A and B are shown apart, each in its own frame.
Chain A
Amino acid sequence: FKLNLPSHSDERLSESVIAAACARVGQRVLHVDRRSYYAANWASFTFNGLLSWIDDNKVCTYFTLLFITPVNSFKQQDQEECAPLAEDQQILSSDGEPQGEEQLSGSAPTQAKKKKISYTKIVKEGRRFNIDLVSKLMYSRGLLVDLLIKSNVSRYAEFKNVSRILTYRQGKVEQVPCSRADVFGSKELTVVEKRMLMKFLTFCLDYEQHPEEYQDFTERSFWEFLQNNMLTENLQHFVLHSIAMVPRETHTEEGLRSTQHFLRSLGRYGNTPFLFPIYGLGEIPQCFCRMCAVFGGIYCLRHSVQCLVLDKESGRCKAVIDTCGQRISCSHFVVEDGYIREEQRKGVEHKHISRAVLITDGLLLQSESEQQISLVTVPPLEPGAPAVRLVELCSSTMTCMPGTYLVHLTCPSSGSAREDLQPVVSRLFTKPASDGSDERPAVLWAVYFNMRDSTAADRSGYDLPGNVHVCSGPDAALGSDHSIRLAQEVFRQLAPHEEFCPPAPNPEDIVYDGDGGQGEGAGFSEAAQAEEGAAEEAEESKEKEASQESSPVEVGEMPDPPPAPLAEE
């Protein structure tokens, strides 16, 4: 069993994109994953899957899980409906130090007003929704969306618009006016503020054309620049925390660039700049995996690589040996950072991301429709604390059961996930209470964990052969530009003269051999035509999907990837 072209180990977003891109241009790809599920840290789990992932990772050595912490020590009022999951679990971190004693438990809120959601019900319904380990959104004009459209991979998934941008300000959650329609409709802003905000945002949209406006501030912070632009205090808050989403000390130009990025994505599919894939982010790597498989990539789950075989002369990796002792030749080897042993990455420093996943029983900000997908920015609660990003998903995204909401919290770690995020959770949410006097939604279940963020790592920090390419895990950023850019770079090294993810033809356009009798190249006889229309069509179809914002999600059974042709030797 020999492959003469790239071999991949494990697939996250970057890896799956590289795999798809390679397969698309005719390279032979073997995809090996030691787990039984796709996408590793990018994975989406069913609730039960998440629970066993939590179990697994208590002893996991490569993955830095620090805490699992359901927060509520509720009173069990309804024995039948409550099922404590576990008690007094001791969770170990990767280096083996006990990190603390936390209680993991589920709960059944018994508020009179709200529908009862029992823990057993969540477990029972758990198979029907997916929970992501990472929390990201897709910028409508980000690299990922562009790539999905260009490569025609978008047809494998459906998307919803993020419907609201919210922020936590002066002790309450409020809506951020970011689009023209929002500004027009905002009740919080005075008309003068509306003008100031629109004027500022219009400037940001093409700030490069007006360098005179900010040249005095190139050495100063964006925050100072905002103050100098006579934006009122709440406008400063909206722009800095919710639109640019940068810390105060960020340089002016970077702040402007972030603002611009946000604004450019506005209005493409909806009233906010973001999309979210139905069934969660784990869908995206899977979509690329499917494309890879369509073009001949081979997948081996529960299988991993034991060691690399190096060529003595060139120092390059010429084969890998898997856990069964089988030797697989390869010309390139792509691996995720997490697989690399400590000795090989002495020069690499890692940051961490603090994460929390909550299941709650209500929206943070009530609105006419219960089906809202919101991005909530929480500025540092006290100086020095990190800004926390919160994504609240409703059941129509298929990430939680009806009546509940899935909330992701993310911030760069300064301590443990619990230390970083607990203060925010306790301000925004409440414990399930029987009297229902509290307006805030209650947390039904929670888990806290830290993830490694290796995105800042430099390639030269790894002591590895030249044809072994390292991909970093998920980063703390909201978008996925980093992963896509990385995939593009690696692909350029693997196949310098090939196009990156050209549009795949539509299945109905494919004419199989015999139909036209035109040999292999004619397998996609209509490829040229498909290429012309594909991007537009993809965009159109996405727009249609996006426009069905509040309609019930109907996702048909996903077709299995066509069987990969066997690689015979």
Chain B
Amino acid sequence: MQFSIYIIAECNMKLMTRDDKSLLYNVGGKEGVLDEEVLLLTQQLLSSNPDFATLWNYRREILLHLETVRSEDEIQRLYEEELSFLEACLKVNPKSYGSWHHRGWVSTRLPRPDWARELSLCERCLSLDDRNFHCWDYRRMVVRVSGVPVDQELQFTDRLIGSNFSNYSSWHYRSTLLPLLHPGSPEAASPQREPPTSSLLKEYELVQNAFFTDPNDQSAWFYYRWLLGRGVCVCVCVCVCVWGFSTNSEVILRCGYRNALYYKSLTHLHKICDLPPGTISDTSNEHNLTVHWTERHTHRDCALYTGRSESWCRDSATDLELFRSELSVEKSSVLQSELQSCTQLLELEPQNKWCLLTIILLMRALDPLGYEKETLAYFQTLKEVDSMRTSYYSDLCSKFMIENTILKMEYAEVRVFSLCEKNLSTLCHLDQLLLVTHINLSSNQLLGLPPQFAMLQCLEVLQADDNAIENLEGVYHLSKLEEVSLRNNNITQLSDLKILTTCPRLARLDLRGNPITQIANIQSQLAELLPSITELLL
């Protein structure tokens, strides 16, 4: 009787009528019986409550059993009856997981399936509720199995979008169909996969019609973002860095993804290894190191010249390659005309956040430095019209400001880097700053130094006055760090500073204007915690 216990545990008895309950006990008593009588019993139960997974499973067992003992025609008839029963169930609950799943199963078991009928069923369901994702899933299954041409499906989305464009499902379906129809189009980066411009322009036109008609509808904007930004990740080795101390030497490899859509999450800093002691024992000779990246079949060379204790090899930070992460490298004429359309829309709808945000992204893609002033102004407006997301916009703005500052570096080997008075609320792209020895983060709105801060492996002097820093998580194993200035921040406890013990060379620490200075005996406690410090300002 394990079976019936299982059923009762699953179904909500309150929802069942007395008849249903007695039926259920009948089914329970029939455990192991695989005949049409049970098929009928389960049918009665399911027609009043189609969300009853166990009963569907039971039915499938029966049907599978019957398949072995019946002729093909009988099976065909049996499954066709099952399909019409399912239609009745879908009328009870058009979003029943059980019914849709069972229908998919029946369709694949049917000896002679009628896919046209299934397609028209989907069409009918979607005309009643064009956001029924169960039906969308089922339709995709039907389309895949029956081989409906892609362009026909695209026309189908045309039709659905035409009748109501506020529909993520249709737009999304479109975004999966277009790459199939034009296999080259999403990867615009490589020349042999040049997208057919005319069809791309048509898409831009379509989606523009949508957001001009209703700029507050986000489904169109999301599709637009997809259209603009289909960059692919090319993982490359950006920088190899070697330095030696008297005792050991290290090789650091940084690889990043150019043109990556998810730039932030995909950047890595690998410390490859400590070179075995004595490998580079004398600096009077030139040493050549080669890093092989077998997975990517690439290698980088790095030469440690005579008399130097460190060396690096990295790509120059040209703006085209660095931060074009959000939007793909489209023809800039296309982006330019998109920017014009959006600006036009903004004149009509100065408060529209989607429009503002898209303009900012387009400007970033076109000319991040040239549009810096406008971008900042738009961010200000965005924060006003969409106050719920001020922090998001601040972080995004910080990211762009840091990018711009990096782009402004005259050459890649700049070692003194200032980000003061930029209203930063977060830090990113720290991987770009691997070689920096002096960083100034003063007068921003930072609450902490994030773990990625530890990428600044060459850092010697950190200045972060006039922020609201509470934690120093990222000041971790910075082997060259000598001086930290944290005036007027929000450091309150001794434990906040504990992480500094991982930086062996730290000699000067400025904590003036922090709450921690109010603690009694703080000086002696600090001296105990950080014995290497020779100059402590409180």
The yes or no verdict on A and B being binding partners is yes
Interface residues of A (CB under 8 A from B): 180-181, 183-185, 191-192, 194-196, 198-199, 271, 547
CB distance from A373 to the nearest CB of B (A): 18
CB neighbours (8 Å) of B210 from chain A are 184
A180→B214 contact, CB < 8 A: yes
Q: Which residue of the partner chain B has the closest CB to A185? A: B162
Q: Tell me if B163 is interfacial: C-beta within 8 Å of chain A.
A: yes
Evaluate contact between B209 and A184: CB separation under 8 angstroms. yes
Q: How far is the CA of A501 from the CA of B212 in the complex (A)?
A: 45
Residues of B within 8 A of A271 (CB): 163
Within 343-382 of B, Cβ neighbours of A (below 8 Å) are at: 344-345, 348-349
Asked if B214 and A198 make an inter-chain contact with CB atoms under 8 angstroms apart, the answer reads: yes
Name the A residues within 8 Å of B345 (CB-CB): 191, 195
Interface residue B285 (Cβ < 8 Å from any Cβ of A) = no
What A residues does B344 contact at CB under 8 A? 191-192
Closest to A547 in B: B127
Q: Which residue of A lies closest to B344 (CB)?
A: A192
A181-B165, A184-B162 known; A191 vs B209 contact (CB < 8 Å)? yes
In the complex where A181-B165, A184-B162, A184-B165 touch, is A194 in contact with B348 (Cβ < 8 A)? no
Does any Cβ of A come within 8 Å of B471's Cβ? no
Contact with A along B421-447 (1 / 0, CB 8 A): 000000000000000000000000000
Q: Are B214 and A191 in contact (CB under 8 A)?
A: no
The reply to whether B349 and A191 contact each other, CB–CB distance below 8 Å, is no
B178-213, CB < 8 A from A = 208-210, 212-213
* CB-based contact A191/B165 at 8 Å: no
**Contacts A196-B348, A199-B348; A180 near B213 (Cβ below 8 A):** yes
Whole-angstrom distance between the alpha carbons of A507 and B363 in the complex? 67
Bound-complex Cα distance A196 to B345 (A) = 10
What's the minimum C-beta distance from A210 to chain B, rounded to whole angstroms? 15
Asked if B448 CB lies within 8 Å of chain A CBs, one says no
Interface residues of B in 154-170 (CB under 8 A from A): 162-165
Provide the residues of chain A in CB contact with B215, threshold 8 Å.
195
Residues in A whose Cβ lies below 8 Å from that of B164: 180-181
The residue in chain A whose Cβ has the minimal distance to the Cβ of B161 is A184
Please give, as numbers and ranges, the residues of chain A lying within 8 Å of B127 by CB-CB distance. 547
**Given known A191-B208, A191-B341, A547-B127, contact A184–B213 (CB-CB < 8 A):** yes
Known: A195-B345, A196-B348, A199-B348. A181 touches B212 (CB 8 A): no
On whether the beta carbons of A191 and B212 are closer than 8 Å, the reply is: yes
With a CB–CB cut-off of 8 A, which chain A residues contact B162? 181, 184-185
- Chain B residues contacting A194 (CB-CB under 8 Å) are 209, 212-213
B37 to chain A, nearest CB (A): 33
CA distance A184 to B210 in the complex (A): 6
Across the interface, name the chain A residue whose C-beta is closest to B163: A181
> Could you say which residues of chain B place their CB within 8 Å of the CB of A185?
162, 209
| Minimum-distance CB pairs A-B, first 8 | A191-B212, A184-B213, A195-B212, A194-B212, A195-B348, A183-B213, A194-B213, A185-B162
A185 to B208: give the CA distance in the assembly, Å.
Answer: 11
Tell me the nearest residue of chain A to B162, going by C-beta: A185
Residues of B207-234 at the interface with A, using a CB-CB cut-off of 8 Å, are 208-210, 212-215
Question: What's the least CB distance linking A175 to chain B, in Å?
Answer: 13
Most buried by A among B127, B212, B349: B212
Q: How far is the CA of A547 from the CA of B210 in the complex (A)?
A: 24
Contact of B349 with A195 in the complex, beta carbons under 8 Å:
yes
A192-B348 Cα distance, complex, nearest whole Å: 8
Complex Cα gap A195–B345 (Å): 8
Q: Which residues from B are CB-within-8-Å of A184?
A: 162, 165, 209-210, 213-214
Residues on the B chain within 8 Å of A196, using CB:
348
* Cα-based distance from A194 to B345 in the complex (angstroms): 11
Query: Could you tell me the distance in whole angstroms from the C-beta of B171 to the nearest C-beta in chain A?
Result: 13
Partner of A198, one of B165, B208, B213: B213
Task: Tell me which residues across on chain B come within 8 A of A191, comparing CB atoms.
Answer: 208-209, 212, 341, 344-345
A181 to B158, CA, bound (A): 12
Additional pairs, 8, CB under 8 Å, beyond known A184-B210, A199-B348: A181-B162, A181-B163, A184-B162, A191-B209, A191-B212, A191-B345, A192-B348, A196-B348
A185 to B127, CA, bound (A): 18
State A192–B345 Cα separation when bound (angstroms): 7
User: How close is A229's CB to chain B, nearest CB, in angstroms?
Assistant: 12
* Cα–Cα, bound, A163→B162 (Å): 15
Q: From residue A544, how far is it (CB to closest CB) to chain B in Å?
A: 10
Closest CB-CB distance, A266 to chain B, in whole Å? 13
**Can you report 24 residue pairs joining A to B where beta carbons are below 8 Å apart?**
A180-B164, A180-B213, A181-B162, A181-B163, A181-B164, A181-B165, A184-B165, A184-B210, A184-B213, A184-B214, A185-B209, A191-B208, A191-B212, A192-B212, A192-B348, A195-B213, A195-B215, A195-B348, A195-B349, A196-B348, A198-B212, A198-B213, A199-B348, A271-B163
- Chain A residues, Cβ within 8 Å of B212: 191-192, 194-195, 198
A-contacting residues, B391-416, CB 8 Å: none
Contacting A at CB under 8 A, from B326-345, are 341, 344-345
Contacts of B214 in A (CB 8 A): 180, 184, 198
Expressed in whole angstroms, the Cα–Cα distance for A184 and B211 within the complex equals 9
B220's closest neighbor in chain A, by CB? A184
Q: How far is the CA of A271 from the CA of B162 in the complex (A)?
A: 11
Closest Cβ of chain B to A192, distance in Å, is 6
Give the residues from 268 to 318 in chain B that come closer than 8 angstroms, CB to CB, to chain A. none
A517 to B59, CA, bound (A): 46
**Bound-state Cα–Cα, A199 to B347, Å:** 13
**Bound Cα distance from A399 to B405, whole angstroms:** 74
Complex Cα gap A437–B426 (Å): 72
